[in-house]
Amino acid sequence: MTTASAAEVAELPAVQPGQREPTKHKGAIVGFLAPFMVLFIIFYVFPVLYALYQSFFKIQRVGTFGVATTVFGGFDQYRRIIVSSEFWASIGRVLLLFVVQVPIMLGLALVLALLLDSTLTRGKKFFRLAIFAPYAVPGVIAAIMWGFLYIPSLSPFSLTESVDFLGSGLVLWSIANVITWVFCGYNMLIIFSSLQAIPQEIFEAARTDGAGQLRIAWSIKIPIVFPAIIMTFVFSIIGTLQLFNEPQVFRTITNSVSSTYTPNMVVYSTSLVPNYNLSAAYSVALAIATFILSFVFLKVTQKRAFA
């Protein structure tokens, strides 16, 4: 065992009270972060900046059959978005889906996580895997499978003959059912992981004081895992506004889903015109809307989640 000499100790920089120690191994930190940062910049930052750049241009023709040229249009594309009834209708549709479907899905995920964390539950590994398994099914495959179950001539359930799950009045909630089936287990696993991190001494003390399972869940577990619940809500906000696979698949089996049913479908259908500049403007507007909703939700719930 060796000790530092007085000269070596004197050369060490003195850390004043309240100051942070200098970061060590900066080269190693940069080396570990470099692969991620390079891919992040190439596949995320550059496309976002390019979409923003494209959104300020527009296609212009001289005469009806003139040659199309790309000219700077300023905020013309964004003015078209403001008056686009299809885009705002798609936003309203996914917001309605979020208000109804997300609380049901996360409430179910919370209940399942609490049941799996309960000391009274048996076969926890099996049920945890069974609940999470639908998340391993790709969204397109899940939508095709449920779509077949909704079609009266293909479905094994007689209920589909009397209830039109693919009609204009119920197709949104049929899509919501697919989303809940796929993502409930994913959100359950996030909440369950947070429950597993709670020290068992807290529960032992509560049981010593006479608290039952329901009291422990309501007064201890849910308040502690509230930050995890908030995180699942934020993920759901982002996922709902980016909804595309499920309604796009349903569009092939029912006329109740239009090509502009969700905001992402508006972006996709606009790019097929093709009008890439307007499609880029839609993408930027959707990204801003997602950021604002997520930021506002976090601000509203921040004090409660981290109290």
Is the predicted pLDDT of residue 119 greater than 80, yes or no? no
Q: What is the pLDDT of residues 17-60, one digit of tens each?
A: 556 666 677 778 888 989 999 999 999 889 889 999 999 998 88
160 and 282 belong to one structural domain: yes
Is the predicted pLDDT of residue 86 greater than 50, yes or no? yes
Q: Are 283 and 276 a contacting pair, CB within 8 Å?
A: no
Task: Give the residue numbers spanning the domain of 192.
Answer: 76-305
Token pair 């936003």 in the structure block, residue: 91
Residues in the chain: 307
87 and 64 belong to one structural domain: no
Is the predicted pLDDT of residue 11 greater than 60, yes or no? no
Q: What is the pLDDT of residues 238-297, one digit of tens each?
A: 999 999 999 999 999 999 999 999 999 999 999 988 889 999 999 999 999 898 988 888
Please report whether residue 171 resides in a domain: yes
Residue 129's CB: how many other CB atoms inside 10 A? Answer: 11
Is the predicted pLDDT of residue 90 greater than 90, yes or no? yes
Q: Which two three-digit tokens encode residue 34?
A: 């470099």
93 and 232 belong to one structural domain: yes
167 and 33 belong to one structural domain: no
Last residue of a domain, one of 5, 37, 72: 72
Residue 49's CB: how many other CB atoms inside 10 A? Answer: 11
Indicate the number of domains in the chain: 2
Q: Which is nearest to 246 in space by CA: 189, 173, 151, 152? A: 173
Residue 297's pLDDT is 87
Average pLDDT over residues 1-7: 52
Helix (H, G, I), strand (E, B) or coil at 46: helix
Please report whether residue 223 resides in a domain: yes
Please report whether residue 191 resides in a domain: yes
94 and 213 belong to one structural domain: yes
Q: Which is nearest to 192 in space by CA: 240, 121, 243? A: 121
Last residue of a domain, one of 53, 72, 91: 72
89 and 44 belong to one structural domain: no
Angle at 113 between CA 98 and CA 117, to 5 degrees: 165
50 and 127 belong to one structural domain: no
191 and 108 belong to one structural domain: yes
19-23, 65-69, 109-113: the lowest-pLDDT one: 19-23
Please report whether residue 106 resides in a domain: yes
Last residue of a domain, one of 8, 38, 72: 72
Burial of 203: CB neighbours in 10 Å, binned 0-12, 13-18, 19+: middle
Mean pLDDT of the chain: 87
Q: What is the pLDDT of residues 162-188, one digit of tens each?
A: 999 999 889 999 999 999 999 999 999
43 and 110 belong to one structural domain: no
295 and 158 belong to one structural domain: yes
Please report whether residue 61 resides in a domain: yes
125 and 101 belong to one structural domain: yes
Average pLDDT over residues 137-166: 91
Residue 1's pLDDT is 47
Q: What is the pTM of this model?
A: 0.83
CATH number for the domain harbouring residue 283: 1.10.3720.10
Is the predicted pLDDT of residue 10 greater than 60, yes or no? no
Instruction: Using pLDDT thresholds of 50, 70 and 90, give the confidence band for residue 150.
Output: very high
249 and 210 belong to one structural domain: yes
Please report whether residue 301 resides in a domain: yes
- With pLDDT > 90 as the criterion, what percentage of the chain qualifies? 55
Q: State the Cα–Cα distance between residues 235 and 173, nearest whole angstrom.
A: 20
Please report whether residue 44 resides in a domain: yes
Please report whether residue 129 resides in a domain: yes
